[in-house]
Amino acid sequence: MLSLLALQGCIWIEDTTDLRAFVADRSSRPVGEIPPLPEFKPYEAFVYEGSSLRNPFRAMVPEVAVAPEIVSEVFPDPDRIPEYLERYAVDNLSMVGTITSPLNADQFFALVRDPLGEVHRVQMGDFLGLDSGQVVGLDERRIELSEIVSNGRGGWMKRPRFITLPETD
């Protein structure tokens, strides 16, 4: 039974009039013209004679190297031993809260979480971040840092930076 089902698709059909009608219809239609190939221009050789001209990649006027005058009173202290939180970028540190000292109510600390999830106590004068950021201001909502960064001309400049306590819903 299975072999009869498989052979059913192989049955020869004697009536091919629809196929002949289709071929006759297509053959009776007008045939379009194929456009001729475009005419190609022959290759003309070109000899470059600009070797005697000025090199366009060299300056017309000789460059005079001028050493920038570096006068900066701000610079990172190379002799200072880096603190633990200076291993991490400021963007990877987050403020998680504040506390006051039980012995002295005027002493205020911020709590900072590092990328490893550890929480550290930070006070005025501590250093954070990769750019020698020193804590210059603390309140319940944010830590204010003063970072020392390159000014792009061989010197240094101070830049303010903040770490804020995230808003809670």
Whether the pLDDT of residue 54 is over 90: the answer is no
Q: For residue 10, what pLDDT is reported? A: 62
Q: For residue 126, what pLDDT is reported? A: 94
- Answer with the residue of higher pLDDT: 10 or 89: 89
Each residue of 129-155: pLDDT tens digit?
999 999 999 988 999 999 999 888 788
| Contact present, 57 and 98 (Cβ < 8 Å) | no
Span of 14-18, 67-71, 119-123 with lowest mean pLDDT = 67-71
Place of tokens 């880096």: 82
Whether the pLDDT of residue 71 is over 80: the answer is no
The residues facing 134 across adjacent strands are: 127, 146
Whether the pLDDT of residue 70 is over 60: the answer is no
Q: For residue 65, what pLDDT is reported? A: 64
Helix %, strand %, coil % of the chain (to 5): 20, 25, 55
Q: Which tokens go with 69? A: 């005058």
Its CATH class, for the domain covering 85-164, is mainly beta
**Structural domain spans, the chain:** 85-164
With H, G, I as helix, E, B as strand and everything else as coil, classify residue 118.
Answer: coil
Residue 114 pLDDT level (bands cut at 50, 70, 90): very high
Q: For residue 6, what pLDDT is reported? A: 62
